[in-house]
Homo-oligomer: A and B are copies of this chain.
Amino acid sequence: MEKWMGGDMHPSYRILMGPGPSNVHYRVYQAMSNPVIGYLDPQILACMDEISEMLRGVFQTKNQVTLALSATGSAGMETAYVNFVEPGDVVVIGVNGFFADRMTQVASRSGAKVIRVEEEWGKIIEPEKMIKALKEHPEAKICGMVHGETSTGVRQPLDEIGAYCKGKDMLLVVDAVTTLGGYEVKVDEWGIDVCYSSSQKCLGVPPGLSPITVSSKAMEVLRSRKIPVQSFYLDLILLEKYWGTERVYHHTAPASMFYALREGLKIIFEEGLEERFRRHRTLGDRLKMEMEGLGFKLFAQEGYRLPMLTSVILPDGMDDVKLRSKLLNEYNIEVGGGLGFLKGKVWRVGLMGETCKLRYIHCLMGALGDILT
Contact = CB atoms under 8 A, between A and B. Distances in A.
Nearest to A266: B4
Given A2-B269, A41-B328, A57-B4, A24 B11 contact: no
Interface string A1-40: 1111010011111101010110110000111111111110
10 contacts: A2-B274, A4-B265, A6-B50, A11-B35, A14-B41, A16-B37, A71-B75, A72-B251, A207-B255, A208-B257
B70 A71 contact: yes
A47 B8 CA distance: 10
Contact of A14 (B38, B200, B274): B38
Closest 4 CB pairs of A and B: A4-B269, A208-B254, A74-B251, A206-B256
A110 B234 CA distance: 13
B21 A38 contact: yes
Interface stretch (A122-130, A225-233, A358-366): A225-233
Interface stretch (A101-109, A215-223, A287-295, A297-305): A101-109
A163 interface: no
A221 to B, nearest CB: 18
A240 interface: no
Interface string A47-82: 100100110110000000000001111110110001
Contacts of A102: 232
A270 interface: yes
A102 B232 CA distance: 9
A227 to B, nearest CB: 9
Contacts of A21: 36-39, 252, 255
A250 B106 CA distance: 13
Nearest to A260: B256
A32 B34 contact: no
Given A43-B12, A70-B72, A266-B4, A254 B36 contact: no
Nearest to A14: B37
A3 B71 contact: no
B229 A109 contact: yes
A229 B78 CA distance: 12
Contacts of A13: 35
Contacts of A208: 70, 208, 254, 256-257
Contact of A3 (B41, B72, B233, B272): B272
Contact of A109 (B54, B230, B268): B230
A53 B233 CA distance: 27
Given A13-B35, A29-B33, 7 more contacts: A2-B269, A11-B47, A16-B37, A21-B39, A24-B36, A41-B328, A71-B71
Contacts of A259: 9, 11
A262 interface: yes
Given A12-B43, A70-B208, A106 B232 contact: yes
